[in-house]
Copies of this chain bind each other. A is one copy, B any other.
Amino acid sequence: MQLTVYLAGQIHDDWRRDIKSKADEKQLPVTFVSPQENHALSDDIGEKILGDQPGQVERDDAASSINNFRTKILLNKSDAAIAYFGESYKQWNTAMDAGAAIQAGKPLILIRPESLVHPLKELSNQADVTVETIEQAVEVLAYLYE
């Protein structure tokens, strides 16, 4: 059974490559989709397509409209989602995507370090599974096929 899994989370480092390579090792028939992982492109895409904007607010709004269009389509096509939190960055998009996935009935795995247990307690409690490492998340996916 081929599944599609949306990877919510920051786009500052390449944690998604780690998930993908671990899933490949296990030969899981899972297609991963994500928000735009090229951070500069994700910030520039509004002006790149729509041209110069009058200010930073408008520049950001133009980019985010295109990012949201992308995310919405990909989340709609997914069978499950993984939300990854680390100790850096605000990660509000991650939390918003997680809230949307839960509300839409998409099963959700939360990955978060032990240090974030307290601030993520409500999100963890609503997620279907909470793990601490990428490896554990991939083991949960592998369990779908056992």
- A139 to B70: give the CA distance in the assembly, Å: 12
- Is the beta-carbon distance between A69 and B109 smaller than 8 angstroms? yes
For A54, the chain B residues whose CB sits under 8 A away are 54-55, 58
A interface residues, how many (CB within 8 angstroms):
74
Given A139-B49, A146-B41, are A96 and B122 also a contact pair (CB < 8 Å)? yes
Contact flag A146-B76 (CB < 8 Å), given A92-B120, A121-B60, A128-B69: no
Interface of A is mostly: helix
Our pick among B49, B79, B120 for the contact of A143 (Cβ within 8 Å) is B49
Q: How far is the CA of A79 from the CA of B25 in the complex (A)?
A: 31
Q: Report the bound CA distance from A109 to B102 in whole Å.
A: 19
Q: Contact: B117 with A57, CB < 8 Å?
A: yes
> Is A38 on the interface with B (CB-CB < 8 A)?
yes
User: Do the beta carbons of A1 and B77 come within 8 Å of each other?
Assistant: yes
Could you jot down 24 A-B contacts, CB within 8 Å?
A1-B74, A3-B73, A36-B143, A41-B146, A45-B143, A48-B139, A54-B54, A54-B55, A60-B118, A64-B124, A66-B140, A66-B143, A68-B122, A69-B109, A69-B129, A73-B144, A76-B105, A90-B90, A91-B92, A92-B120, A93-B123, A96-B102, A97-B99, A98-B99
